Amino acid sequence: MNSFAGPVGGAAPIIADKAPMIDPFGRAVTYLRVSVTDRCDFRCTYCMAENMTFLPKKDLLTLEELNRLCSAFISKGVRKIRLTGGEPLVRKNIMFLVRELGQHVKAGTLDELTLTTNGSQLAKYADELYDSGVRRINVSLDTLNPEKFKAITRWGDYHKVMEGIDAAQKAGLKIKLNAVALKDFNEFEIADMLRFAHGRGMDMTVIETMPMGEIDEDRTDQYLPLSKLRADLEEQFTLTEIPYKTGGPARYVEVQETGGRLGFITPMTHNFCESCNRVRLTCTGTLYMCLGQNDAADLRTALRASENDGYLSAAIDEAITRKPKGHDFIIDRTHKRPAVARHMSVTGG
């Protein structure tokens, strides 16, 4: 049994007292993704409806509670934490949580603390992120065309994101660009985005759109299989499979012409469930054992039941025993409704 060392919300070092959590299919759970808010300052068309109803702020865990939950997972063998949203950097006082979790990196009890961002707040926070122990971030960017960027994000400012990328690189943060591949929107831009990313020393990953949450558009019209995108890219580039891994689901190739890396995340055409090492925690304390399934565990009740982490530890253990083998996403004309009702912003992708 693990107990929290020091006062609730404190940053006392934690020592893992057991091997990594093992799910029913023999996979070690070593990666925790934490959605610190469901709110975002963009309204990307494939992710959200324009007029979203967000969670009442009273339902959110405090940053101190999120820190305690993350620390409990670290004590149980989690070695990587990614902060997501919504947009994580719009959460008020988010740098408190980043600094607290960064102490685990400095203590050696966490291998990596990272985050996925839309880049809108990076100019403000880049230096502090680096000082807190963050070394690598993902920036979501689906086009290099400012007008198309405005169209797909609805509320986004392309030039502000570019300023954020500049600031992050200046601060010493390594960046990977994430682009969702969308038919008839950016499929013929990916080659130029690849050259842009690799020209600035950034990796890039392309992602298939996923059927999560009600949106204003038909995902059937947006869906672009990455098998087709890859075939198109291979008319311009020499792509060589490499064993490079960052702890997530991407499969990487090296691009001979640029010398950079390109990742493919394919939840639709080739799911990555056999190697899944992650669980997802929401800002309300709900743990989803699979992005594409609805089964979840309520950790908020366990968290608030006692300042001793025994009950919380047992709740986490029970949840891991329910981690499913995989997801079953479908996008076609006969499946109009999303496979999962919650929006991506709830669980952070």
Torsion, Cα 273 84 70 304, to 10 degrees, reads: -110
**Binding residue per annotation — 276?**
yes
**Binding residue per annotation — 125?**
no
**Binding residue per annotation — 252?**
no
**Binding residue per annotation — 283?**
no
Kind of pairing between the strands at 136-140 and 112-117: parallel
**Binding residue per annotation — 77?**
no
**Binding residue per annotation — 279?**
yes
**Binding residue per annotation — 33?**
yes
Beta bridge partners of 222: none
SS3 285: coil
E-strand stretches of 209-275:
239-241, 251-255, 261-265
- Please list the helix, strand and coil fractions of the chain in percent, rounded to the nearest 5, in that order: 30, 20, 50
SS3 52: coil
How many Å apart are CA 270 and CA 249, to the nearest integer? 11
**Binding residue per annotation — 162?**
no
**Binding residue per annotation — 347?**
no
**Binding residue per annotation — 91?**
no
How many Å apart are CA 258 and CA 51, to the nearest integer? 41
First-to-last alpha carbon distance for the chain, in angstroms, is 30
**Binding residue per annotation — 46?**
yes
**Binding residue per annotation — 39?**
no
**Binding residue per annotation — 116?**
yes
**Binding residue per annotation — 70?**
no
**Binding residue per annotation — 210?**
yes
Annotated binding site: 33, 40, 44, 46-47, 82, 86, 116, 140, 176, 210, 273, 276, 278-280, 290
Annotated binding site for [4Fe-4S] cluster: 40, 44, 47, 273, 276, 290
Annotated binding site for S-adenosyl-L-methionine: 46, 86, 140, 210
